Structure 1
Amino acid sequence: MKYVLAPQEMEWHTLEKPEFPGVGFQFTDSVVDEDYTSAYSIQLSRMGPGGRSKLHRESHNHAFYIVAGTGTVRVEKETFDLKPGTLAKIPRGIPHAMDNTGSTDLEFLVIYDPPYVTGTNAVANLED
């Protein structure tokens, strides 16, 4: 197990799946996974300026912890501002969307409960 990880040491993936409801996303594999715990997982994510996700639902509880940048998150019909230090909790099945409203990357941790396994949580696009 590696105890300390720097972003430049992590493998970053660009989200290029046409069925995914967003643009401008990059993410790491889980930085806290089964070698540490099987209770939850965490990915480091970033969304470039102008990046956004469409309104969608997921099968996992998850939370976004904002590390850098600014944006908004829509949860059901309410929209909230995001800035470093903000935590947005998204229960499974709740419609949500995220936008980068700033001129720099929006960087955030995504904490999943139960742990996210790549390709297993269905994402359903919803009408805005």
Structure 2
Amino acid sequence: MSFKELNEVETIQGNEGTIIRQLFHPHNTLDGIRYSIAHFTLNEGKKSTKHKLKSSEVYYFLKGNGIIHVDNTSFKVKSGSVIYVPPMSPQHVENTGSENLEFLCIVDPAWKQDDEFIIK
């Protein structure tokens, strides 16, 4: 079993104005899970880098307002919104609200840097 408090998890500063907290990942979980889950904070007026992953992703939005762009479709998101993103789908998230946009991202199989492709 593994237990964590969000505010005690080390933060990683993303290039695009995101603060990332890797909650559970096979490399930091004793139970040997195959997925990863991270908490993201996207600052007001910022957007994440357009990218695609070899893995599938589920985004669950906790706070704020924004837009998630997947393939050629855009969805308005707010607290309680959830979206499944198939593998290799170009995507990015945009904070359109007046506060930070917070969300969880579950990646299965777990996120690996070699499996992520930045789109310019």
105, 115, 120: which is aligned to 1:121?
115
The residue identity in structure 1 corresponding to 2:119 is N
Aligned residue for 1:10? 9
Deviations 1:33-77 (A, max 9, x none): 332342211011110001102433222211111011110011111
RMSD of aligned Cα (Å): 1.7
| C-alpha displacement of 1:28 | 1.1
Unmatched 5+ residue regions in structure 1? Answer: 17-22
Deviations 1:70-117 (A, max 9, x none): 100111111101111111111111121210001111111110000113
- The 2-side partners of 1:91 and 1:79 are apart by 15
The answer to whether the aligner puts 1:25 opposite 2:18 as a matched pair is yes
How many residue pairs get aligned? The number is 117
Identical-residue share of aligned pairs (%): 26
Runs of 4+ deviating beyond 4 Å: none
Deviations 1:5-38 (A, max 9, x none): 332211111013xxxxxx2111012x22332342
- The 2-side partners of 1:54 and 1:10 are apart by 23
Unmatched 5+ residue regions in structure 2? Answer: none
Aligned residue for 1:73? 68
Q: Output the TM-score relative to the length of structure 1.
A: 0.81
